[in-house]
Structure 1
């Protein structure tokens, strides 16, 4: 948002208010994602057999995610901005989504990555550029990136282990579902709700540029999912049909060569 000419034309006070609202809402929607993840992990671990190695990890991850929700909510409270977080449809479906962890576990973990990868990408990009971040935001990003690295790695490992064991038809269906889940939930995490646009009187043309008409915003979408495209190839989920779905969703591109590959090379 800060790169758009419209934003540069606004008074400093309004720029500050926009930034506060935006960052507070990112924290709030992050909290909502983490809450869904916690409930899904508890549901998933409850169904694991005795001796399952995943039980200890999922329980520890849920504990860390609880700390993240405390951290995010405290940040929202201190900004003093009453933000809604995700769009209304997402908040209404929130009680249902955790059930996917046992009914369709692969799809649930697609959703986990769709929520975690965009935030992780944005935060790492900020930290790598060493921009003049507010100390509170910088501390939150550093802690979140460090702990989410384990969570994302676990989701990648679980999917790499489980998906190749599924039947051919199941793998084909998952290959089509994966890019759709990524694109839909990326919108939830990165695109502010309508309240944001109304609050600050953002013109429709500017809004469309930001999400996702401008070349820069489309590049962002492609860059966010470099690691996920790599995972899709590793799981055998990239085929001629699914590749078309990735393109249709606007998130196709070269897969990362390794996890967390910097944007300037992942986009090459």
Structure 2
């Protein structure tokens, strides 16, 4: 059994000056996956009494960081109802996470299928796919143990999302932007919750720390792949990626951070409370912040232009990239 990580793992951040430095990053990631990995049914003691899930456990109550948790309506509910809503939110995030990772794994394998012999990406893709399989198992085991009717993505969205695994056959760079669009918002929220001390239940904390540790490697691979590939693309392909990126990121971030419809219906959450929690400026800032690292990467790669910047702004996910950000207030930067 491997101990759950105690510190939050950080991404690999290196300059990709040439093919050799890019391969060096992949070698580091491959070694890290061999040296430190977790298995869903080996490294999580699911039957430990301290890790059991009780829907009425007050440790599931949403904290001040959560937009719904701040509303007067939520705070006025009985403690048991507050706990059940909090657990539903956690379980839904895990269900959506495993559904996204299902799409990701199929896309990764489509990408790996066509790699020539000797390519170092092949081995790393299989390490990542293995780790994502364990993530899916631990997320689903958590959902099963809540005994709640958690659905995850809406049915129409699930049907539409089935195109994602085929993107690598057309445009691998766009696929890895899709990967970051799903992984970065989850990583952002999980890190913020853990650093802020908002995670109270030990099972949720253990799962989050394992997920963050391995996702740091997955995000690193996608980021360095794009740094290696995008500068050599034709102007037409770069222009297409520049337009598609904000559409993908805006869509993915909202899926990850919006309230699940079945939860709203189950607990009779009034429409005005949903609007208060998820349509105000604070929530939109959260959505924008969750894709901040990908947005900075897009700027670094020269994929943000005066034309497609309007699309970022229209989707509510624009902020000045760090490299160009001034010392003025954040709101002023957003309005620029």
TM-score by length of 1: 0.92
Q: Spell out, residue by residue over 1:174-193, the C-alpha distance to the aligned partner (whole angstroms, 9 max, x if none).
A: 11110110011112222233
The structure having more radius of gyration, on CA atoms, is: 2
Contact between 1:44 and 1:101, CA under 8 Å: does it hold in 2? yes
Q: CA deviation at 1:252?
A: 0.5
Which residue of structure 1 aligns with residue 108 of structure 2?
41
Shift of 1:254: 2.9
- Please state whether the residue corresponding to 1:2 is helix, strand or coil: helix
**Is residue 2:274 matched to residue 1:217?**
no
Say which SS state the counterpart of residue 118 (structure 2) adopts: coil
User: Which residue of structure 1 aligns with residue 293 of structure 2?
Assistant: 227
User: C-alpha separation between the residues in 1 aligned to 2:209 and 2:321?
Assistant: 25
- Rounded to whole Å, the distance in 1 between the matches of 2:311 and 2:72 is 33
Measure how far apart 1:132 and its partner are.
Answer: 4.7
Q: Could you tell me how far apart the structure 2 residues matched to 1:193 and 1:13 are?
A: 19
Please tell me the root mean square deviation across aligned C-alpha atoms, in Å: 1.7
Deviates more, 1:166-175 or 1:61-70: 166-175
How many residues of Structure 1 are paired with residues of Structure 2 in the alignment? 259
Q: What residue number does 1:58 align with?
A: 125
Taking the aligned partners of 2:239 and 2:162, their CA distance within structure 1 comes to 28
Question: 1:240 maps to which residue?
Answer: 306
Instruction: State the alpha-carbon separation in 1 of the partners of residues 172 and 238 from structure 2.
Output: 13
> Contact (CA 8 Å) 1:228, 1:255: kept in 2 or not?
no
**Structure 1: runs of 5 or more not aligned:** 258-263
TM-score by length of 2: 0.74
Equivalence for 2:72: 5
Q: Cα distance, 1:94 vs. partner? A: 4.0
**Compared CA separation, residues 48 and 124, structure 1 to 2 (3 A):** same
Please tell me whether the aligned partners of residues 116 and 152 of structure 1 are also in contact (alpha carbons under 8 angstroms). Answer: yes
CA distance, structure 2, for counterparts of residue 78 and residue 5 of structure 1: 30
Q: For the residues of structure 1 that align with 2:105 and 2:199, how far apart are their CA atoms?
A: 32
Q: Give the corresponding residue for 1:249.
A: 315
Counterpart contact for 1:119–1:189, Cα < 8 Å = yes
**2:204 corresponds to which residue?**
137
Alignment deviations for residues 126-146 of structure 1 (CA, whole Å, 9 cap, x no partner): 111123520001001111111
Structure 1 position 256, deviation (Å): 4.4
Deviating beyond 6 angstroms after TM superposition, the runs of 4 or more aligned structure 1 residues are none
Structure 2: distance between partners of 1:173 and 1:123: 31
CA drift of 1:4 comes to 2.0
Structure with bigger helix share is 1
CA distance in 2, matches of 1:183, 1:113: 12
User: CA-to-partner distance for each residue in 1:10-47, whole Å, 9 max, x for gaps?
Assistant: 11111111111111111100000111111111110001
Q: Is the 8 A contact 2:257 2:287 kept in 1?
A: no
Q: Structure 1 residue 209: deviation in Å?
A: 2.6
Task: Verify the 8 A CA contact 1:86 1:189 in the aligned structure 2.
Answer: no
Aligned with 1:175 (options 232, 242, 264): 242
In the alignment, structure 2 segments of 5+ residues that lack a partner are 1-67, 324-329
CA contact (8 A) 2:110 2:169 kept: yes
